[in-house]
């Protein structure tokens, strides 16, 4: 190899190293104060194109929280108990959370992450069907028992409770969804995708996503248990004819200040969108 070519190779390697270091620095800054992970997978080329996985965080199971609304929608559409024009009537009970105090459609259920709708759908499906779907989806620990001693799995299993899943397992579910290899109807997958549409990235790519918010070790004994936030954001990006899948999660390293009312899901979403906008800025 000539001296000129050697210098060219070295320059390319240094440039690549600099880019990787800059991206690593972004991870460190964005996830400061949190245990967390991020994965971005190019489903067209079948390659992981970005990953932040300190201490194998992406393999750690944490409660599914409202990301469970994604597989729950698949179950409900597939079973036929939810239609694209279904309406879930509000019972008049006032809620502090935006969008909850009104009748709900499948899309508004996902958009506003309305727990009371999930708590109608899950019991209507029933435990036997849910457990069958969980097994077919290979969904985390598949534990739908709920809070210890309360027999409330059908209304609470996913809410900082027994149903736990890792980021890697979330990614596996998204891959099977994108590849149409889940054991549900094509119509169920199509309608589920429609109701998790979230908007466009800064450069115009469409993205789909679902947040999840909860509290670490809410049902365990311990000084800080139930006081540190868990957060999820999972979904897909469609850009230039290619499909990408992403998963991120966070858990507070220390208890947040009492004045900090932000939930974990929006935090994970904010981090994810910064990373996605950065990655796709020149795509």
Give the residue numbers marked as catalytic: 66
Do 36 and 86 form a contact (C-beta atoms < 8 A)? no
- At 155, phi and psi to the nearest 5? -120, -15
Do 157 and 143 form a contact (C-beta atoms < 8 A)? yes
| Domain 33-280 in CATH 3.40.710.10 | yes
pLDDT in tens, 60-91: 999 999 999 999 999 999 999 999 999 999 99
pLDDT in tens, 21-34: 344 548 999 999 99
**H-only helix segments in 140-242:** 153-156, 167-178, 186-195
The pTM of this model reads 0.90
């Amino acid at each position: 190899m000539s001296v000129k070519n050697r210098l060219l190779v070295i320059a390319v390697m240094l440039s690549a190293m600099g880019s990787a270091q800059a991206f690593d620095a972004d991870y460190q800054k964005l996830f400061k104060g949190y245990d967390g992970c991020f994965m971005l997978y190019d489903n067209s080329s079948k390659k992981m194109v970005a990953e932040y996985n300190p201490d194998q965080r992406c393999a750690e199971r944490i409660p599914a929280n409202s990301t469970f609304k994604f597989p729950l929608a698949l179950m409900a559409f597939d079973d036929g108990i939810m239609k694209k024009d279904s309406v879930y009537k509000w019972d008049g009970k006032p809620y502090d959370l935006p969008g909850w105090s009104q009748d709900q459609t499948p899309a508004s259920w996902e958009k506003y992450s309305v727990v009371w709708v999930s708590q109608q759908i899950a019991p209507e499906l029933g435990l036997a069907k849910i457990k069958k779907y969980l097994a077919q989806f290979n969904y985390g620990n598949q534990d739908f028992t709920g809070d210890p001693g309360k027999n409330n799995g059908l209304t609470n299993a996913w809410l900082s409770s027994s149903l736990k899943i890792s980021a890697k397992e979330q990614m596996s579910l998204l891959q099977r969804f994108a590849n149409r290899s889940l054991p549900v109807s094509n119509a169920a997958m199509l309608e589920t995708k429609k109701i998790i549409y979230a908007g466009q990235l800064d450069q115009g790519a469409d993205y789909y996503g679902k947040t999840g918010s909860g509290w670490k070790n809410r049902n365990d004994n311990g000084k800080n248990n139930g006081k540190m936030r868990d957060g999820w954001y999972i979904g897909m990006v469609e850009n230039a004819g290619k499909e990408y899948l992403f998963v991120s999660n966070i858990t507070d390293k220390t208890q947040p200040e009492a004045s900090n009312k932000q939930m974990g899901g929006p935090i994970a979403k904010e981090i994810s969108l910064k990373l996605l906008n950065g990655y796709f800025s020149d795509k």
